[in-house]
Structure 1
Amino acid sequence: MVNATQFSFFTLSAYFDTGVFKYLYFIIIISLYIVIICTNLLLIVVICMNRSLHEPMYLFLCSLFVNELYGSTGLFPFLLVQILSDIHTVSASLCFLQIFCLYTYANVEFFTLVVMSYDRYLAICYPLQYNTCMTSSKVAMLIALTWLYPFVGVAVLISLSAPLQLCGNIINTVYCDNYSIVKLACSESRVNNIYGLIYTCLVVFGPLSLILYTYIKILKVCFSGSKQTRQKAVSTCTPHLASLLNFFFGSFFQILQSRFDMSSVPMMLRNLLSLYFLTCQPIFNPLMYGLQMSKIRSLCKSLIFGKT
């Protein structure tokens, strides 16, 4: 029988010796992190400083950009340390803290996109009742729920995983992952699996049904409405749809890698796919919304170049 214990540290085996190229990887990662901080922070400042942007759609965007900063801070500094280190270990407490940050980031990201689809649905399908339905108190409640629910759900998930007796401490990833730790368990992990399944169903299928419903209704309005209505729907929904597709694309690869045997895939490609899930959204969203939405674009120009 394999000895079970609670390890004080984990070893990340997905890292490999890159020699002098590790400094190149370090420069690439830190450059991406700086771009993420600057672009998201710029858009947060623009939305907060301009009262004309204190509308539901832009407030949800502000929450989205804050989440990008939060998730990136949970990943990039860790990656930078690991790239320069020769021994790729992490303490158990820091590992679970990173799991909490990355899992809550992903959950908040998805819930915010769900709320934004509901907001677009009301604005396009019920424009006359929009201000009555989407009040400031309702906006505040929706933003609070998008952050509170993931924090509670992930906290319970980690509280079930942390006490597990493990048969090993080697994780085949470049960052800490809860499912990888549960797979190492020698003790009974049925409760973890049941909770994980229920939580995944509640987090994914319910919100996904709402997104599909809202966009079916929006499409019906577009096909039956005027040209002006179609143009408004396209201009406001294009960035949101692009962000949703990018998020699902990254999530698909992450689920594929964590749940199935990917040993036949080169390690470099596996690492890139696992990082895509956490790095592309914080870069993609501010660029997409900043370039696509003329109101934000013009205010960013005035803030940077001092032009009205």
Structure 2
Amino acid sequence: MMHNVSHVKLFFLSGLSETMNYRVVLFSLTLLCYCFIVLVNVALIVTIILDKTMHEPMYILLCTFCMNGLYGTTGFYPKILWDLLSPVHVISYSGCLVQALVMYSYACSDLYILAVMAYDRYVAICRPLEYHSIMSKQRLSLLVCFSWLTPFCIIGTNIILTSRLKLCSPYIDRLFCVNWVIVKLACFPADTIVNSIVAYITIIIYVFHGFFIFWSYVYVIKTCVNSLENRAKFMQTCVPHLTSLLIFLVTILFDVMNMRFGSNNLPQTLQHFVAIEFLIIPPIVNPLIYGFKLTKIRNRILGGITFKN
């Protein structure tokens, strides 16, 4: 199988070529953005871990959600900060595949966790008497594990299929490595048929995640219509989930539309912002939404973290 091994050892990322005149400003803003992402997500994670009253499914899933945000952004920000200080923007072949794995698995894990959150709210509001038996510690642990392992395995399969391709160009016109861009560099398009099939299967799997979320909230809304107590619970706990879902879908949709149908006539800066907004907006906005909307978290953060025996 050695003849299928790529001769490309380094990829050249040309996404920053037109913005290097502003490298100091961009570096400062990017570093500030990354530090803020780490700060707000770590603050929420630590708050939930230290407060035993928050060791409930809803808060544990939220903690998982923020951890995943840190995982995804760590796959992007350190590399882009290094590139902003470097005159040459390169990444090794293996490093590029790893970065693509992190970016895609992060996005898929986000959708998986949002689906589990929707299921949790469905059980809490529509089947409250069965909530603790359905969302047991064992089941919650399995759901959290699958939220990371399943996307990692699915995207890992895509990356392994990509790694078998022989590539004829080392140039990637992006700020970071993307699997479908690497596939487009293949010397023989016929070799990418399997990649395309697996990619479409992956898309279908996560489209079903979206349908599941929609189905869950349809039942939740139907249950809440005739109950004042359930309406209050919906506004308190479901609105942040729906807001996070909307932000996720909009940012991912913009990125997908830009990748598939983007015009080269658009300014490069705008193209790159659309490509990385899912690494900027959700990791910042999600912890802020939950931090301000969920009373228990807001009171704990504003009052300072205290240990309870």
TM-score, normalised relative to structure 2: 0.94
Does residue 121 (structure 1) correspond to residue 103 (structure 2)? The answer is: no
C-alpha offsets along residues 128-157 of structure 1, whole Å, 9 cap, x if unaligned? 111121111110011011111011111111
Q: Which residue of 1 aligns with 2:197?
A: 194
Residue 129 of structure 1: SS of its match in structure 2?
A: helix
- Contact 2:70-2:283 within 8 A present in 1 as well: yes
Residue 11 of structure 2: SS of its match in structure 1?
A: strand
Q: Which residue of 2 aligns with 1:95?
A: 96
Residue 76 of structure 2: SS of its match in structure 1?
A: helix
| Equivalent residue runs for 1:102-181 within 5 Å | 102-181=103-182
- Contact 2:6-2:164 within 8 A present in 1 as well: no
Letter in 1 for 2:158: L
Letter in 1 for 2:278: F
User: Kindly tell me: are residues 181 and 157 of structure 1, through their superposed partners in 2, closer, same or farther at Cα, counting changes over 3 Å?
Assistant: same
CA distance in 2, matches of 1:277, 1:36: 12
Residue 160 of structure 1: SS of its match in structure 2?
A: helix
Q: Which residue of 2 aligns with 1:241?
A: 242
Structure 1 vs Structure 2 CA RMSD: 1.6
Residue 173 of structure 1: SS of its match in structure 2?
A: coil
Q: Which residue of 2 aligns with 1:209?
A: 211
User: Kindly tell me: are residues 17 and 209 of structure 1, through their superposed partners in 2, closer, same or farther at Cα, counting changes over 3 Å?
Assistant: closer
CA distance in 2, matches of 1:192, 1:60: 32
Identity %: 36
CA distance in 2, matches of 1:114, 1:88: 37
Structure 1 stretches of 4+ moved >2 Å: 16-20, 302-306
CA distance in 2, matches of 1:139, 1:35: 29
Count, aligned residues: 301
Unaligned runs of 5+ in 2: none
Q: Which residue of 1 aligns with 2:278?
A: 277
CA distance in 2, matches of 1:218, 1:86: 53
Structure 1 residue 305: Cα displacement: 9.7
Point out the more displaced range, 59-68 or 15-24: 15-24
Residue 213 of structure 1: SS of its match in structure 2?
A: helix
User: Kindly tell me: are residues 6 and 257 of structure 1, through their superposed partners in 2, closer, same or farther at Cα, counting changes over 3 Å?
Assistant: farther
- Contact 2:30-2:81 within 8 A present in 1 as well: yes
Letter in 2 for 1:199: T
Structure 1 residue 17: Cα displacement: 3.9
Structure 1 residue 184: Cα displacement: 1.0
CA distance in 2, matches of 1:5, 1:154: 20
Q: Which residue of 2 aligns with 1:221?
A: 223
CA distance in 2, matches of 1:5, 1:121: 48
TM-score, normalised relative to structure 1: 0.94
Does residue 86 (structure 1) correspond to residue 92 (structure 2)? The answer is: no
Residue 87 of structure 1: SS of its match in structure 2?
A: coil
Point out the more displaced range, 58-67 or 259-268: 259-268
User: Kindly tell me: are residues 152 and 19 of structure 1, through their superposed partners in 2, closer, same or farther at Cα, counting changes over 3 Å?
Assistant: closer
CA distance in 2, matches of 1:159, 1:305: 46
Letter in 2 for 1:217: Y
